[in-house]
Amino acid sequence: MKDTSMTKNIKISANNIDVYYGEKHAIKDVSVQIEDKTVTAFIGPSGCGKSTFLRCINRMNDTIDIARVTGHIAIDGEDIYDPRVDPVQLRAKVGMVFQKPNPFPKSIYDNVAYGPKIHGLSRNKAELDEIVEKSLRRGALWEEVKDRLHEPGTGLSGGQQQRLCIARAVATEPEVLLMDEPCSALDPIATAQVEELIDELRQSFSVVIVTHSMQQAARVSQKTAFFHLGNMVEYDETDKIFTNPEDPRTESYISGRIG
């Protein structure tokens, strides 16, 4: 296998990934090296496979019966599709934020405390309180909810719910944070808040974000990969992709001619 610790600090190394949904060949031979403490954006038209590929990184595709993944993905050099790897443990290490805010029908506190409780990250109530406060602060939500931690999480606004989901993902102290179009259900103000948050999260995690919006990719990411019809067409520095793409398909997509 390829050496993953080349020049830069590679966190996730994916090589020759193919994904099939039943008969459909959704991802065709994709290889990508994702750096640590970096925001990497996946862009491309609907149905191009960017979300599918994202879901390979924490093996969420395992929960779909008809999905089949081949190829090799390593995080810190460890093969995550190795039969000895427990996908449940993996998902504790690779957090995920979904397209639609999906707070559990529990209180705000219990939403954030859910992961730490399951993984036994706290020894007592005081430690758990501390984790919840810290995570909500990192989710830029603490000031807004500190007086109503025991009210239901479903009662928050859409943008607050999504930040709650981010805080919930952060609370389990993952190493990688996957975000599947986290702003597509939010208004511009909430989007700006979440984007600001993503930039801060970069200090601690490797963030991979799937987005429909090219402006968003340009604003938040350092590296960008362009997907088209199941292929990864181009992967480079974000600035280069948006100013001087090499592939004509990337050029037509970012200039609005396809997609």
Partner 1 sequence: MSLTLPLLFIAALSVGGFFIARSRAQSAAGGDIRKLASLPRQHGLNTALSTAIPALFAILAWLFAARLLSYRDAAPIWVPLAIMLIATLGFILSIMRVSVTFRARTAAEGWIRSLLIGASVIAILTTVGIVFSMLFESINFFSQYRWQDFFFSTNWAPNFRGNSDLGILPLLWGTLYISVIALIFAVPIGLFAAVYLSEYASRRTRSVFKPLIEILAGIPTIVYGLFALVTVGPFLRDYFAQPTGFGDSASSVMTAGLVMGIMLIPFVSSLSDDIINAVPQSLRDGSLGLGSTHSETIRQVVLPAALPGIVGAILLAASRAIGETMIVVLGAGAAARLDLNPFEAMTTVTVKIVSQLTGDTDFASPETLVAFALGLTLFVITLALNVLALYIVRRYREQYE
Instruction: Give contact residues for partner 1 (rule: CB under 8 A).
Output: 58, 60, 63, 65, 88-93, 95-96, 98, 100, 102-106, 114-115, 118-119, 154, 165, 168-169, 172
Q: What is the helix (H) or strand (E) element at residue 252, kind and residue range?
A: helix 248-254
For CA atoms 104, 86, 32, 29, the dihedral sign is: negative
The residue whose two tokens read 């929960």 is 63
Nearest approach, Cβ of residue 226 and partner 1 (Å):
25
Q: Which is nearer to partner 1, 13 or 161 (CB)?
A: 161
Q: Which is nearer to partner 1, 96 or 209 (CB)?
A: 96
Q: Which is nearer to partner 1, 129 or 175 (CB)?
A: 175
Nearest approach, Cβ of residue 168 and partner 1 (Å):
7
Compute the distance between CA of residue 193 and CA of residue 204 in angstroms, rounded to an integer.
Answer: 18
Closest C-alpha among 250, 210, 208 to residue 231: 250
Backbone φ, ψ for residue 188 (5° rounding): -60, -35
Q: Which is nearer to partner 1, 102 or 252 (CB)?
A: 102
Nearest approach, Cβ of residue 232 and partner 1 (Å):
23
Q: Which is nearer to partner 1, 38 or 102 (CB)?
A: 102
Nearest approach, Cβ of residue 44 and partner 1 (Å):
22
Contact (Cβ atoms closer than 8 angstroms) between residue 76 and residue 34: no
Nearest approach, Cβ of residue 111 and partner 1 (Å):
9
Closest C-alpha among 4, 5, 22, 21 to residue 13: 4
